[in-house]
Amino acid sequence: MAGAAVDAATAVDDAAAGAALQAALAAPAGRRARAAAGAAPARRTRRISGQQAFVLHQYPYSESSLIVDLFTRDHGRLTALAKGAKKPTSNFRALLLPLQLLRLDCSWVEQEQGMIATIRSVERAGGPAVPRGEPLLAGLYLNELLARLLVRGDAHPAVFDAYQMTLHVLASAPGQALEVLLRAFELVLLQQLGMLPDLSVQTQDQQPLGERKRYALIPEMGLHEVWDGRRSLSGQQWQAIAQALAGPQALAACMRALGDAAADLKPQLRAALAHYLGAELHTQRLMRGLRTL
């Protein structure tokens, strides 16, 4: 199921997304032609108001507009057109920025070519200031991770809440260990997307974990006992993480459960993410020499 979800996901590709949206925006001429021929295509307009959202990515579209990749709480990842956003008089210009909690109204048309979303209004919805330094790069890493793994239109409110809390910690308590925070978010994300095996049992035989035995998370194999000294966690640590993911406030619970295991967990989660991403993230290359990412 997870593999199918990732196969359906589309990465942030400026040229491809722009071409798709341009084709959809050009659809009225095609509809008129089909109408003249007696064919009436299905068309439905939907609207959402007061939706919480974050900007994952934006890029120019035409001389005055932007295409914005959004992560909304109730509608998942959406790609929307912000008309006139590049004009000096547009209030969109200063608002459609990454790592800021927004409240927006938008509408979209569902038709044969796909979905056209248009931002009607946007405002800041409070929250902490945008982080700086390493926390800023960590936030951009999260954005790229979400843009690559989330399927457009699939709502994941638990991921949204964990992402919002992660940004809050990055901005308000930058002195906290970034590694623990990032590993906790990666765990929540993988678990919510169905990309994480049951961490309370061995994957191969579904037998309970031995508290003092060592287990490693291996792509396509799951949780396996290891004896060769590779990076691994004890059965007790994996069980604590599994309990944290199953309960409320999973992000905070995972941070507590990780303790000093974050460093050993890092290469295991990197391998798991690489299996689904297929390629290294730009922010990972940028931050390769830094300990936090």
pLDDT digits (tens, 9 = 90+) for 92-139: 988 999 999 999 999 987 766 566 789 999 999 987 788 888 899 999
pTM equals 0.82
What is the predicted pLDDT for the residue at 50?
94
Higher-pLDDT residue of 253, 153: 253
Give the three-class secondary structure for 286.
helix
Query: Nearest CA to 241 among 227, 259, 264, 268?
Result: 259
**β-strand pairing of 76-82 with 114-124:** parallel
Assigned fold of 2-124: OB fold (Dihydrolipoamide Acetyltransferase, E2P) (2.40.50)
Phi, psi (degrees; rounded to nearest 5) at 164: -60, -45
pLDDT at residue 257 is higher than 90: yes
Provide the pLDDT for residue 291.
52
Which pLDDT score is estimated for 18?
52
Nearest to 281 by CA among 133, 99, 145: 145
pLDDT given at position 3: 38
pLDDT of residue 31: 45
Say if CB 199 and CB 190 are below 8 A apart: no
Place of tokens 């287990």: 215
Confidence of residue 22 (pLDDT cuts 50, 70, 90): low
| Tens digit of each residue's pLDDT (9 = 90 or more) over 170-183 | 988 766 688 999 99
| High-pLDDT (> 90) share of the chain, % | 61
Place of tokens 């997870």: 2
User: Cα-flanking dihedrals φ and ψ of residue 107, to 5°?
Assistant: -135, 155
Domain boundary assignment for the chain: 2-124, 134-286
At 269-285, the pLDDT tens digits run 999 999 999 877 877 77
pLDDT of residue 21: 53
Please indicate whether the domains covering 2-124 and 134-286 agree at the CATH topology level. no
The token pair that represents 3 in the structure block:
């593999």
Q: What mean pLDDT do residues 84-94 have? A: 90
Residue 121, beta-bridge partner list = 105
Whole-angstrom Cα distance, residue 202 to residue 24? Answer: 48
185 HSE (CA, 13 A, CB side): 25
Residue range 237-241: mean pLDDT, rounded: 97
Q: What is the pLDDT of residue 44?
A: 74
Cα distance between the two ends of the chain = 28
Q: Which of 5-14, 19-28, 81-90, 125-134 has the lowest mean pLDDT?
A: 5-14
Candidates 1.50.10.150, 1.10.150.120, 3.20.20.70, 1.20.1440.120; correct CATH number of 134-286? 1.20.1440.120
CA proximity to 267, closest of 293, 241, 235, 244: 293
**Residue 8: predicted pLDDT:** 36
Percent of the residues in the chain that have a pLDDT greater than 70, as a whole number:
80
Give the list of residues 6+ apart from residue 171 with CB closer than 8 angstroms, or none. 99, 127, 128, 129, 130, 131, 135
In sequence order, the 6+-apart residues with CB closer than 8 A to the CB of 285 are: none
Contacts of 144 (CB under 8 A, 6+ apart): 12, 56, 57, 281, 282, 283
| Strands 44-61 vs 114-124: parallel, antiparallel or unpaired | unpaired
pLDDT digits (tens, 9 = 90+) for 25-61: 554 444 444 444 455 556 677 888 999 999 999 989 9
Between CA 225 and CA 214 the distance in angstroms is 6
How far apart, in whole angstroms, are the C-alpha atoms of residue 87 and residue 249? 41
